[in-house]
Amino acid sequence: MRFAARVADFARDPLAWALAALLFLALDMQALRPLFAAAFPALDRPLYEQEGFGTLLLEHIGIVAAAGLAATGAGLAAGIAVTRATGREFLPMVETVVSIGQTVPPVAVLAIAVPLIGFGQEPAILALALYGVLPVLRATIAGIDSVPAGMREAADGLGMRALQRLWLLELPLALPVILAGIRTSVVISIGTAAIASTAGARTLGSPILLGLSGFNTAYVIQGALMVGLLAVVADMAFERAGRRFDQRR
């Protein structure tokens, strides 16, 4: 009974609808063919058929996930290092780098990676990972710094070793903020991955870019719908997860 109630609750959540729409379009974009044909009668190819949207979705998610894992790992490690007593000295410099880094548009990192590495998935994943570190790093620093000094002193006074204090106190308390940073990082990556088609990666952006260069507005809309839905679903999913962790506080 509890389970059924939880399912009913979930069904009312906008996340469920967005997810359903995303999956439906991924598996069966064909169903909308008549719609696109009617809206764009001048096009003889109203539906993107070079690859299935399901395949594109998986490729897209794959790139974002690979980059996201790397970015989260690096961002967490750097954020922890810079908030330790021995690393504090480097904090202002790191914050300066992060600020400057965030004025660089993510596209630029992608565009610089390609001439250096070549076309394909690799420059895309590298660029996404590099740029994705920044929000996670910033969030880790903010989250750990938000732990009150009195609490840290109490932990030290009780005899916790530095590593124990980090694992038992600082990280659990910093988690909601860190999760928010990961959320930002992932959502930005989803958008940048769409543009990564210009770098030769196969993603949901491929129909968009093909449509733009070929004046096929239907392609563009199909791709844009998928990318938009994916981003919204990811964002909402992280937000729900963040809320669950905060409730345990």
Partner 1 sequence: MIEFDRVGKSFGDTIAVEDLSFTIPGGEFLALVGSSGSGKSTTLRMMNRLVEHDRGTIRFQGGDIRLRRPEDLRRRMGYAIQSIGLFPHWSVARNVATVPQLLGWPRARIEARVDELLTMLGLDPARFRDRRPRELSGGQMQRVGVARALAADPEVLLMDEPFGALDPVTRRSLQGEMARIHRASGKTIVLVTHDMEEALSLATRVILMDQGRIVQDASPAQMQAHPANDLVRSFLGRGPR
Partner 2 sequence: MKRGAPLRLAPVLRNRVPFVLSLLALAAAAGLPFVLVAPNRLVSGTGTMLADLPGGAGWLPAAPWAVLVASALLRPSRGSRLAVACAAATALAMLAALAGAEAARQGGELSPLARVSLGGGCWLLFLFAWLAAADALQGLDLGPVARLLAHAAVLLPLLGLLFHGDLDSLALLKEYANRREAFHGAWARHLAIVLATLAPALLLGLPLGVAAARSDRLAAVLFAVLNVIQTVPSIALFGLLIGPLAWLGNRFPDSGIRGIGLLPAVIALTLYALLPIVHGAASGLRQVPSGVIDAARGMGMTRGQLFWRVEAPLALPVLLSGVRVTAVQVVGLAVVAALVGAGGFGALVFQGLAGSALDLVVLGVLPVVALALALDAGLRALAARIEAGS
Residues within the interface to partner 1 (CB under 8 A) = 148, 150-161, 164, 168-169, 172-173, 248-249
Minimum CB–partner distance for residue 163 and partner 1 (Å):
10
Q: Are 211 and 220 in contact (CB under 8 A)?
A: yes
Residue 210 DSSP one-character state: H
Q: Which of 96, 153, 214, 244 binds partner 2 (CB under 8 A)?
A: 96
- Nearest alpha-carbon partner for 238 in 128, 139, 134, 171: 139
Calculate the alpha carbon distances from 136 to 71, 76, 123, 171, 239 in Å. 7, 7, 20, 13, 15
Burial 69-83 (b: 16+ CB within 10 A, else e): ebbbebbbebbbebb
98 touches partner 2 (CB under 8 A):
no
Which of residues 17, 24, 90, 245 is near partner 2 by CB under 8 A? Answer: 90
- Interatomic CA distance for residues 72 and 140, integer angstroms: 10
Q: Is 55 in the site for partner 2 (CB under 8 A)?
A: no
Site string for partner 2, 99-138 (x = CB under 8 A): -x--xxxxxx-xxx-xxx-xx-------------------
Note the residues at the interface with partner 2 (CB under 8 A): 39, 89-90, 92-93, 96-97, 100, 103-108, 110-112, 114-116, 118-119, 187, 190-192, 194-195, 198-199, 205, 208-209, 211-212, 217, 220-221, 223-225, 227-228, 231-232, 235
